[in-house]
Structure 1
Amino acid sequence: MSSRRNPFREIERMFDRMSRQFEEMPWGFEGEAGGQALWGRSPSLDLAEHDEEYVVTVDLPGFERDDISVQLSGRTLQISADRSEGSEQREENYLQQERSQRSVSRSITIPDRVDEEGVSATYNNGVLTVTLPKSEPSDRGRQIDVE
C-alpha cells in the first residue's frame, strides 16, 4: 500500500488555522441582531441600581469623546460610537493610504423610568459612565451630551 497525503486533510487544517486567527482578531466578524454591533464586538456593559439612580458603565476603548452618541428614549438607552482613521505615507512615486473604521452600538432597557433632564454621561480612559436618576414616567426622549 502506498502512503499518499490526503489533500482534504490539509485543507481542513488550513481552515482550522484560519478560523483560529480570525477568532483572535480584535475586531472580529460578529454581527448581532437587535441593534447590537454590526462590525466588531459589542461593547461590554454593566448596569447597576443604587437607591436614587441607575448607573450604566460601557467599555469603549480607542474612541474619542466626540465619537460617542448617547440617547435616551423612554426606558431605552442607546449608546453608539463611530471612529474612522486614515493615514498617508508618500514614498517616491507611490501614495499609500490605509484607513479603518470601527462602529459599535448597544441598547439597554432601564428597569424603570428615569428623570430624563437629570441624566448625565462622562467618558474617561475608555470608559463611558451614564448616570440615570430614578423618576416618574415621561413621554419625551432626550439627547445626552458626553462630557
Structure 2
Amino acid sequence: MSDRDPFAEIERALDTFGEQFGVDLDSVPTDIVDAGDAYVVRADLPGFDSEDLDVQLADERELTISATHSESAQSSDGRYVQRERRRQSVSRTVRLPAAVDEEETSASYDDGVLTVRLPKVSADGDEDGTDIPVN
C-alpha cells in the first residue's frame, strides 16, 4: 500500500493543468455585456449566500467581486474523533471598457449568479462626438 494522499495528488494535478493551460481554477467565471446604456457583469458564485459577497468599484472602471464562506461540521454528542471544516474564498477583478456612474450601480444575487448593473457615464449629450467642418 502507498502512503500517498490521493487528494493531494489530485490537487497537484489540477495545479499543473492550470499552469500549463493558463486556467485559473479558483477564479470567478464572469460575463461582461454591453447593454447600450450600461455594462452588465454576471458572475457565477454557487454555494455562497448574499452576505458572503463583497462587490467594490474603484476608479470608475475596476470592479472587484469577492466571496468568502466558512462552514464547519458540528457534533453535539461526545468528543471529536475527526472534525472537518471548509473555507472557500474566491475573488475576481475585471476592468470595464469605459467609466461608469458609481452612484447608479446596482447588484442582485439569485440562484448562485451575481448580476451587477453599471450605467455608463454620459458625455453630456456628446455621445455621437463632435462635428468638425472641413473647408
TM-score normalised over the length of structure 1: 0.65
SS at match of 1:88: coil
- What residue is the counterpart of 2:128 in the other structure? none
- What residue is the counterpart of 1:6 in the other structure? none
Quote the offset at 1:97 in angstroms: 2.6
Contact 1:113/1:136 (<8 A) preserved? no
Unaligned runs of 5+ in 2: 124-135
- What residue is the counterpart of 2:89 in the other structure? 103
1:45 equivalent to 2:30? Answer yes
Alignment RMSD:
3.2
Decide which of 64, 68, 74 is 1:88's aligned counterpart: 74
The CA deviation string for residues 47-92 of structure 1, in whole angstroms up to 9 with x for no partner, is 0101100000000000000000000011100100000001222554
Contact 1:63/1:81 (<8 A) preserved? yes
Quote the offset at 1:98 in angstroms: 1.8
- What residue is the counterpart of 2:11 in the other structure? 22
Query: Partner letter of residue 87 of structure 2?
Result: Q
Structure 1: 4+ residue segments shifted above 4 A: 28-32
Q: More displaced, 122-131 or 97-106?
A: 97-106
**Percent of aligned pairs with the same amino acid:** 41
- What residue is the counterpart of 2:117 in the other structure? 131
SS at match of 1:117: helix
* In 2, Cα distance between equivalents of 1:122 and 1:78: 15
Whichever structure has more strand as a proportion of its residues is 1
Unaligned runs of 5+ in 1: 1-10, 138-147
Count of matched residue pairs: 114
Query: Partner letter of residue 63 of structure 1?
Result: F
SS at match of 2:121: coil
- What residue is the counterpart of 1:59 in the other structure? 44
* In 2, Cα distance between equivalents of 1:107 and 1:22: 24
1:69 equivalent to 2:38? Answer no
Quote the offset at 1:22 in angstroms: 3.0
- What residue is the counterpart of 2:106 in the other structure? 120
Query: Partner letter of residue 108 of structure 1?
Result: V
* In 1, Cα distance between equivalents of 2:15 and 2:114: 24
Quote the offset at 1:18 in angstroms: 6.5
